[in-house]
């Protein structure tokens, strides 16, 4: 049994600057303006907390003396007890410094530094029998996190949150990468605009997505919200450690460049039910004048709690293939077994006439298992294996799946034996159709079934309106549901890959079996209208700030008309850009999403997917600009192997790739997968070159990327023969 070592004692020290002052609560002082200042360890960031006239708490934030957040209110409105908005006096403040290292179970770095100065403000509402709340600010070199805390006290046991009123008053009409506020989906296409343009673009931006529930009456955007100021500041607003609370969205006052928290409501219109001790998630503002710093930030992970599990030895990153993309392209196969249109779990599916197009057949799954085993994959996802897919969607149907009954042509035992003989796992699929109550009812039997049949990971799905009816994907109840599923899965040694769940907030630190999530527009949309070429240059600055994404890259057959079934859809990238994603889109769970027959036609390019690591000792963000390009280098965990991925948007560009992260004094072989000269996302997208060159830590590569293209590089130490044979860069 390996015990999670969080935090490691190495490099750990905690210094209490301690209790600065404790105000005598005289009437005279009660409502005067009082300010507290906190600076980041490197002094670049400065936070000021101020209690304004009337006892209204506010904060402001500067970076290198530039305003990031202008004076902004803090507070919560409650539904059942007096509000937490004003009438506060300062009861106490305390400053602390923490500087420690800790090791994630898996991740982008072997070791993470958690270094911040903290200001803990205790506020007292005299008119509410001296009721107290706290606001805890943690200022890192890369940004600010703060949260509200409600200590256990006689004056406050339980309360209902009506709304949180945290303001983010921005300093100008920033450029922003955004999707519309919505209680149920994160699968909108990104918009790039100025803050002031948001209201005018809202209607267009709120295009149709399954089970959507856009925020009405006020323009709003989702987090992670990525902004760039006219004077070059990069600002990212999100949250960390979303537990027992609804997700935060941001209302936008486009005239004053202000944002304000808007929590996702429950079925009766309340936002959250809290019991003291309680705290909100952390509100996070990552700031830098370098875009690469935003991607390198570990602030959100640092604000999450260490792992909740004793034994984490069974948690492993997973590289997988799947009976999946064939459902999206060409109508090659289907999730459903028959063409019935009205089925129940009690039906005898063996009595239905098979459509002949069912994907999850023994024969087809074996084909994937063979290929996956031959090429060293850990697992094969199989969707559509269980009864109920004939009419699973859009019915708000509670008993939609049972997670244990296979279709007649999916022989669980035969495939278990076959997969074991090949040394490959089958990845379970639990689509809930949003019927979370049904899933919870069946969770223990479903996980027991997995355990009995050798499945160690599951892709969960929430496509549809939520049951409990009236609840939303991103509300407090569902937030707790996803965590309940992750924790229960851990009891069975099962890893989770959740789709359509609330977007991540770094909880994979605490629940490391929750390997990855979707919670954004992923590869599947390439078959349904396509993704914009800049989509994946935005995702790392938005969705991925919260945690890994199961983006499902690796599509080689990019022109879907290839299948001859009338589709004229195109995947809007070059083939090489698909390779680069394995590095630019960090995830401990990576899929090779295309079908074996497509990989077989490009085995030399497929070699990169086979080799690329999915867990890392270290990461270097080499170049980045949201909406334009991202280039990242990573060192494989425990191996002298490095991988580089670079992508660009619809514009061709020359990537500048240093190798200074390689240990000095040695020579390495870099295998460079590059777009062909004639390639672009619109034409000759499968054109690529592969070359090998010798590099050292001093080398520097100028690599041309096609429009909508990319570059992928694998690096390892050169053998003597290679040093003779290969040319230097």
Catalytic residues: 524
Least separation in angstroms between residue 642's CB and a copy of itself is 44
**Choices 193-201, 362-370, 443-451, 536-544 (CB under 8 A): range interacting with a copy of itself:** 443-451
**Choices 107-115, 130-138, 151-159, 666-674 (CB under 8 A): range interacting with a copy of itself:** 151-159
Provide φ and ψ at 5, rounded to 5°.
-105, 80
**Rounded to an integer, what distance in angstroms lies between the CA atom of residue 713 and that of residue 417?**
37
Pick 187 or 471: Cβ nearer a copy of itself: 471
Local structure of residue 608 (DSSP, 8 states) = H
The reply to whether 339 sits near a copy of itself by the rule CB under 8 A is no
- Strands 653-658 and 379-382, bridge-based pairing: unpaired
CA angle 621, 627, 629 (to 5 degrees): 40
Pick 153 or 682: Cβ nearer a copy of itself: 153
Provide φ and ψ at 617, rounded to 5°.
-80, -35
Q: Which of 513, 403, 514 is nearest to 450 (CA)?
A: 403
**Rounded to an integer, what distance in angstroms lies between the CA atom of residue 395 and that of residue 171?**
46
Give the start-end residues of each E strand in 329-452: 379-382, 425-431
Give the start-end residues of each E strand in 103-247: 112-125, 131-140, 143-150, 158-164, 167-170, 175-178, 191-194, 220-222, 225-228, 234-240
Contact 333, 361 (CB under 8 A): no
Site for a copy of itself in 247-276 (CB under 8 A): 266-268, 270, 273, 275-276
Least separation in angstroms between residue 61's CB and a copy of itself is 34
The reply to whether 77 sits near a copy of itself by the rule CB under 8 A is no
Contact 178, 193 (CB under 8 A): yes
Pick 120 or 345: Cβ nearer a copy of itself: 345
**Rounded to an integer, what distance in angstroms lies between the CA atom of residue 37 and that of residue 39?**
7
| Count of residues touching a copy of itself (by CB under 8 A) | 32
Least separation in angstroms between residue 510's CB and a copy of itself is 15
Pick 110 or 484: Cβ nearer a copy of itself: 484
Residue from 27, 65, 342, 568 in contact with a copy of itself (CB under 8 A): 342
Binding mask 274-313 for a copy of itself (x = CB under 8 A): -xx-------------------------------------
Q: Which of 249, 251, 278 is nearest to 265 (CA)?
A: 249
Q: What does the block give as tokens for 662? A: 């390689």
Pick 466 or 595: Cβ nearer a copy of itself: 466
Provide φ and ψ at 450, rounded to 5°.
-60, -45
Pick 447 or 581: Cβ nearer a copy of itself: 447
Pick 443 or 693: Cβ nearer a copy of itself: 443
Least separation in angstroms between residue 397's CB and a copy of itself is 7
- 517 bridge partner residues: 498, 549
- Put the strands of the sheet holding 167-170 in their side by side order: 34-39, 45-52, 56-63, 66-73, 167-170, 258-263, 248-253, 220-222
Pick 396 or 602: Cβ nearer a copy of itself: 396
Least separation in angstroms between residue 460's CB and a copy of itself is 16
Local structure of residue 680 (DSSP, 8 states) = B
Contact 412, 382 (CB under 8 A): no
- 717 bridge partner residues: 668
Least separation in angstroms between residue 157's CB and a copy of itself is 4
Question: Could you give the C-alpha distances from 298 to 240, 294, 634, in angstroms and in order?
Answer: 11, 9, 15
Pick 192 or 437: Cβ nearer a copy of itself: 437
Binding mask 483-512 for a copy of itself (x = CB under 8 A): -x----------------------------
The reply to whether 444 sits near a copy of itself by the rule CB under 8 A is yes
Residue from 232, 331, 423, 445 in contact with a copy of itself (CB under 8 A): 445
Question: Could you give the C-alpha distances from 384 to 154, 210, 332, 520, in angstroms and in order?
Answer: 53, 19, 14, 22
The reply to whether 213 sits near a copy of itself by the rule CB under 8 A is no
Q: Is 588 helix (H, G, I), strand (E, B) or coil?
A: coil
Site for a copy of itself in 383-442 (CB under 8 A): 391, 395-398, 437, 440-441
Least separation in angstroms between residue 471's CB and a copy of itself is 7
Question: Angle 412-422/362-374 helices, nearest 10 degrees?
Answer: 10
The reply to whether 725 sits near a copy of itself by the rule CB under 8 A is no
Q: Is the dihedral of CA 201, 203, 207, 213 positive or negative?
A: positive
Q: What does the block give as tokens for 729? A: 């860069």
Binding mask 447-486 for a copy of itself (x = CB under 8 A): ---------------------xxxx-----x--x---x--
Least separation in angstroms between residue 268's CB and a copy of itself is 5
The reply to whether 149 sits near a copy of itself by the rule CB under 8 A is no
Pick 397 or 430: Cβ nearer a copy of itself: 397
Binding mask 152-171 for a copy of itself (x = CB under 8 A): x----xx-x-----------
Contact 574, 710 (CB under 8 A): yes
**Can the peptide bond before residue 302 be classed as cis, meaning omega within 30 degrees of 0?**
no
Local structure of residue 719 (DSSP, 8 states) = P
**Rounded to an integer, what distance in angstroms lies between the CA atom of residue 708 and that of residue 575?**
10
Least separation in angstroms between residue 313's CB and a copy of itself is 24
Least separation in angstroms between residue 395's CB and a copy of itself is 5
Residue from 344, 421, 656, 719 in contact with a copy of itself (CB under 8 A): 344
Question: Residues interacting with a copy of itself, by CB under 8 A?
Answer: 152, 157-158, 160, 266-268, 270, 273, 275-276, 341-342, 344, 391, 395-398, 437, 440-441, 443-445, 468-471, 477, 480, 484
């Amino acid at each position: 049994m390996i015990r999670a070592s969080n935090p490691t004692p190495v490099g750990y020290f905690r210094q209490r600057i301690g209790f600065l002052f404790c105000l005598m609560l005289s009437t005279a002082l009660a409502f005067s303006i009082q300010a507290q200042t906190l600076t980041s360890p490197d002094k670049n960031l400065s936070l000021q907390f101020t209690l304004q006239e009337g006892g209204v708490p506010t904060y402001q934030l500067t970076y290198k003396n530039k305003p990031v957040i202008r004076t902004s209110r803090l507070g919560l409105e409650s539904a059942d007890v007096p509000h937490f908005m004003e009438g506060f006096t300062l009861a106490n403040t305390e400053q602390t410094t923490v500087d420690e290292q800790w090791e994630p179970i898996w991740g982008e770095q072997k070791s993470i530094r958690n270094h911040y100065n903290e200001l803990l403000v205790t506020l007292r509402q005299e008119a509410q029998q001296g009721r107290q709340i706290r606001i805890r600010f943690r200022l890192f070199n890369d940004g600010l996190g703060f949260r509200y805390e409600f200590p256990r006290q006689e004056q406050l046991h339980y309360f209902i949150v009506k709304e949180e009123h945290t303001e983010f008053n921005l300093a100008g009409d920033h450029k922003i990468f955004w999707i519309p506020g919505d209680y149920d989906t994160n699968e909108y296409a990104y918009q790039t605009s100025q803050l002031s343009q948001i209201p005018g673009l809202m209607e267009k931006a709120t295009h149709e997505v399954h089970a959507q529930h856009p925020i009405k009456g006020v323009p709003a955007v989702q987090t992670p919200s990525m902004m760039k100021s006219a004077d070059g500041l990069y600002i990212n607003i999100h949250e960390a450690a979303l537990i027992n609370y609804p997700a935060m969205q941001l209302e936008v006052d486009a005239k004053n460049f202000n944002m304000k928290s808007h929590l996702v409501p429950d079925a009766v219109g309340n936002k959250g039910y809290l019991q003291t001790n309680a705290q909100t998630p952390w509100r996070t503002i990552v700031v830098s004048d370098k875009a690469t710093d935003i991607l390198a930030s570990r602030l959100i992970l640092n604000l999450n709690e260490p792992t909740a599990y004793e034994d984490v030895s069974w948690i492993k990153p997973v590289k997988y293939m799947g009976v999946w993309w064939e459902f999206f392209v060409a109508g090659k196969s289907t999730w459903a077994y028959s063409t019935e249109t009205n089925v129940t779990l009690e039906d005898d599916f063996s009595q239905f006439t098979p459509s002949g197009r069912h994907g999850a057949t023994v024969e087809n799954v074996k084909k994937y298992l063979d290929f996956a085993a031959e090429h060293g994959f850990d697992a094969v996802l199989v969707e559509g294996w269980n009864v109920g897919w004939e009419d699973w969607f859009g019915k708000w149907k509670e008993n939609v799946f049972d997670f244990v009954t296979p279709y007649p042509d999916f022989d669980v035992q035969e495939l278990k034996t076959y997969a074991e003989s090949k040394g490959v796992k089958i990845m379970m699929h639990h689509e809930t159709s949003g019927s979370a109550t049904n899933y919870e009812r069946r969770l223990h039997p479903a996980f027991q079934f997995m355990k009995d049949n050798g499945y160690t990971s599951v892709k969960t799905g929430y496509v549809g309106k939520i049951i409990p009816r009236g609840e939303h994907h991103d509300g407090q109840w569902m937030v707790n549901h996803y965590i309940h599923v992750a924790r229960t899965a851990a009891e069975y040694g099962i890893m989770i890959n959740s789709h359509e769940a609330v977007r991540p907030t770094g909880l994979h630190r605490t629940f490391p079996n929750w390997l990855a999530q979707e919670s954004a527009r992923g590869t599947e949309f390439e078959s349904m209208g396509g993704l914009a070429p800049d989509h994946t240059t935005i995702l790392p600055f938005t969705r991925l700030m919260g945690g890994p994404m199961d983006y499902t890259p690796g599509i080689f057959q990019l022109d879907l008309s290839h299948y001859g079934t009338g589709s004229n859809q195109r995947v809007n990238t070059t083939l090489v850009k698909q390779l680069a994603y394995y590095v630019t889109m960090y995830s401990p769970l990576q899929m090779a999403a295309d079908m074996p027959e497509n990989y077989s036609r490009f085995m030399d390019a497929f070699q990169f997917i086979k080799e690329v690591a999915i867990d890392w000792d270290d990461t270097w963000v080499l170049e980045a600009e949201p909406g334009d390009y991202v280039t990242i280098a990573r060192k494989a965990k425990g191996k002298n192997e490095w991988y580089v991925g670079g992508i660009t948007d619809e514009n061709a560009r020359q990537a500048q790739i240093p190798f200074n992260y390689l240990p000095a004094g040695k020579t390495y072989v870099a295998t460079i997968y590059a777009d062909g000269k004639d390639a672009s996302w619109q034409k000759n997208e499968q054109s690529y070159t592969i070359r090998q060159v010798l590099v050292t830590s001093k080398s520097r590569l100028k690599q041309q990327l096609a429009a909508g293209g990319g570059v992928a590089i694998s690096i390892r130490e050169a053998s003597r023969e290679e040093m003779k044979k290969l040319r230097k860069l």
